[in-house]
Amino acid sequence: MRKLFYIISIAAMVSLALVFMHIRPDNGVYRDDARYYNDISFSKAPGAYAGPFDLAITAPTDEIYYTLDGSEPDRGSIKYTGPVPIGDASADPNTYSMREDVSAFFDDEMRELYRQTHWAAANVSPEYRAPEQNIRKCTVIKAVYYDRDGNRGNTLTGSYFVGEGRGGYADRLKTVSLVMDPADLFDYERGIYVTGKLRDDFFAKINDENREEMLDSHWPANYSERGREWEREATLQMYDSRGCSLSQQVGVRIKGEGSREYHPKSFNLYARSEYDGNTVIHTEGKTRMCLEAMTLYFGGEDIYSKLRDPLMADICSDMGFATMTFRPCELFINGEYWGYCFLTEKYDEKYVERMYGVDDDNVVMIKNNYKSEGEPSDLDIYMNDMTFIADADMTVPENYERAKEILDMEGFIDYMAAEIYIARWSDWPTGNINQWRSRTYENGKYGDCRWRYMLFDVNWGGMMYDEGDATRDTIASTRLPSPVFDNLCNNPEFRDAFIARLMSMRENEFAPEHVAKKIDGYAAMMEGPMKEHYMRFFGTDDERFREEAEKLKLFFNERYEYIPVMIEANFPGYAMD
């Protein structure tokens, strides 16, 4: 009995250790000794190495196959007969990075046509170029074995950065490697990253009589499709100075609206038990999180600096609304450098549970007037709540008190003041609105069934610093499309609090000297990696990033001067010092 107790105790301790290391016996995540809890293994752990080496693969049988292009190995793949030489793959010819069917902005004629038919493209119309130089690369290897009965074993995946493969930013940047079947990205019919068949079908039906269809906001393409049908499985691996900190299967989808036409494109990543048993993605480091979904974010419309979203989230992190965490990283797809991006959360019920302590089953979330989390009837509750605030006479104290029971008013004032301060317009508040509340009352501050706001997608309008943005009257431009804000401005208590908060932001969070320090900090971190990013996608390492950073500083300098003018114009009688 005592022996049995010891055996059970040892097994329990091993299982507990696996939990704390986020390791499953069947998903190929590394332990500290760089070996696998798996029946197939590599002789060296994936990660960065100074020089070349030979990689041995061991399995219960000698029938081992592997691939080097991200595709799933089978009996038609390379047969393993001895150690695989692993060297600096950067000297290999570029492959996936040479494709030009990933955006309309590679072709001069198509780019001009897109500019003519899309209002946003008149301001953001990048001239992409396939890289003329060899880009950084790593070796990706996927291996599998078959037992003596012909049964297939688990697939093992590794990414190896040799010599210059990880570049000079390994100490500052997390490296993310996505390894997946190239056809899932680039196939004409089912590839999620290309214009593909859907773009050709669209142009095939366009003629002089129905040419107005080209004025639609976005041209159809494979990468414009959504939903599980357009989700593809991939191996997600993360590397830092310690080696491989994560390796698991995820679902990959293209993220965004108009930014889907750009290159590189942002990705949403989903943990699903059907892929490898994991239901969360585990990230390591100072900002460790366990999420059902996350995003590899390339900046949306902010293609030249990628500063605006992380900067705003940073500045507003202590305000009364939700913000995301942005962690810089570099992405490799099937071994090829795919640019500088940010790893960030997705707003969903798990985010609310983690950040606000509300049970995820009790979260209602409405995005752009559509239910994104919750029950179908929740949308009716939302519409009734917003209709009351928009229509009721807010000069009546009882109505305003009821509005404060519906909205977290302090948080709403913070949210509206921040968006208005940065001169948000064009795609807000007509869109890019995300709100949440608890469906029923819970213990705790946030289980009070009041609507709260979530900041996202601030990369367009305002801070892009087009002509006149710093002196744009966004109080006036916000009131018309936002009847809730417009009607609340008729209440003296709300109006006074909103004006006071706008002026407080002017002297504190958005004070020019404060913002300039923030921008300089991001610039010091990003300028070097962004030069490589520019070379990869635009064929130049010019000073565009620094120019964008300086434009942001100028915007906040001029906005500081304009805020009192805007308040006086919209609220007569409020004399501003």
State yes or no: cis peptide before 429, omega within 30 of 0.
yes
The 3-state secondary structure of 395-455 reads CCHHHHHHHHHHECHHHHHHHHHHHHHCCCCCCCCCCCCEEEEECCCCCCCCCCCCEEEEC
Helix (H, G, I), strand (E, B) or coil at 361: helix
Q: How far apart are the first and last CA of the chain?
A: 83
Residue-wise over 127-150: b if at least 16 C-beta within 10 A, else e?
Answer: ebeebeeebbbbbbbbbbbbeeee
Question: Across the strands, what pairs with 341?
Answer: 329
**Per-residue confidence (pLDDT) for residue 459, from 0 to 100:** 84
Distance separating alpha carbons of residues 463 and 257, to the nearest angstrom: 19
Rounded to whole angstroms, the Cα distance separating 453 from 412 reads 7
Give dist(CA 507, CA 421) in Å, integer.
Answer: 12
Percent of the chain with pLDDT over 90: 69
pLDDT in tens, 203-229: 898 877 776 667 655 789 999 999 999
Q: Say if residue 258 is exposed, middle or buried (CB neighbours under 10 Å; 0-12, 13-18, 19+).
A: middle
Classify strands 327-333 and 174-179 as parallel, antiparallel or unpaired.
parallel
Contact 51, 57 (CB under 8 A): no
> Residues with Cβ < 8 Å from 427, sequence gap 6 or more?
457, 460, 461
DSSP letters spanning 21-90: TT--TTTT-B-TTS-BSSSSEESS-SEEESS-EEE-EE-SSS-EEEESSSPPP-TTSEEP-SPEEE--GG
Asked if 64 and 57 count as a contact pair (C-beta separation under 8 A), the reply is yes
Positive/negative CA dihedral, 118, 123, 129, 134: negative
The beta-carbon contacts of 214-217 under 8 Å, at least 24 apart in sequence, are: 214/113, 214/117, 215/117, 217/118, 217/258
Reported as half-sphere exposure (CB side, CA atoms, 13 A), residue 511 has a value of 7
Tokens 């239901």 map to which residue? 279
Q: How many Å apart are CA 404 and CA 402, to the nearest integer? A: 5
Q: Half-sphere exposure (CA, 13 Å, Cβ side) for 214?
A: 17
Name residues whose C-beta falls within 8 Å of residue 360's C-beta, 6 or more positions apart in sequence.
Answer: 349, 350, 352, 353
The whole-number pLDDT of residue 119 equals 55
The mean of the pLDDT values for the chain is 87
**Is 265 within 8 Å of 256 (Cβ atoms)?**
yes
162 neighbors 140 (Cβ within 8 angstroms): no
Tokens of 29: 């995540």
Nearest to 499 by CA among 487, 512, 513, 489: 489
pLDDT of residue 380: 92
Residue 243: name the closest of 338, 159, 330, 163 by CA.
Answer: 159
Q: What is the pLDDT of residue 125?
A: 73
> What pLDDT, in 10s, does the model give residues 165-216?
666 655 678 999 999 999 999 999 999 999 999 999 998 988 777 766 676 5
How many residues are given for the chain?
577
The C-alpha atoms of residue 235 and residue 275 are separated, in whole angstroms, by 10
Q: Give the 3-state secondary structure of residue 179.
A: strand
Q: Which amino acid is at 83?
A: P
Cis omega (within 30 of 0) on the bond before 264?
A: yes
Q: Which residues of the chain have pLDDT under 70?
A: 1-38, 117-124, 165-171, 211-213, 215-217, 284-290, 371, 461-467, 575-577
- The token pair that represents 331 in the structure block: 């992405």
Alpha-carbon distances of 351 from 3, 288, 292, 308, 511, rounded to whole Å: 45, 14, 9, 22, 30
Q: Give the β-pairing of 327-333 and 57-58.
A: unpaired
Phi-psi region of 196 (alpha: psi -120 to 50; beta: other; left: phi over 0): left
Amino acid residing at 552: L
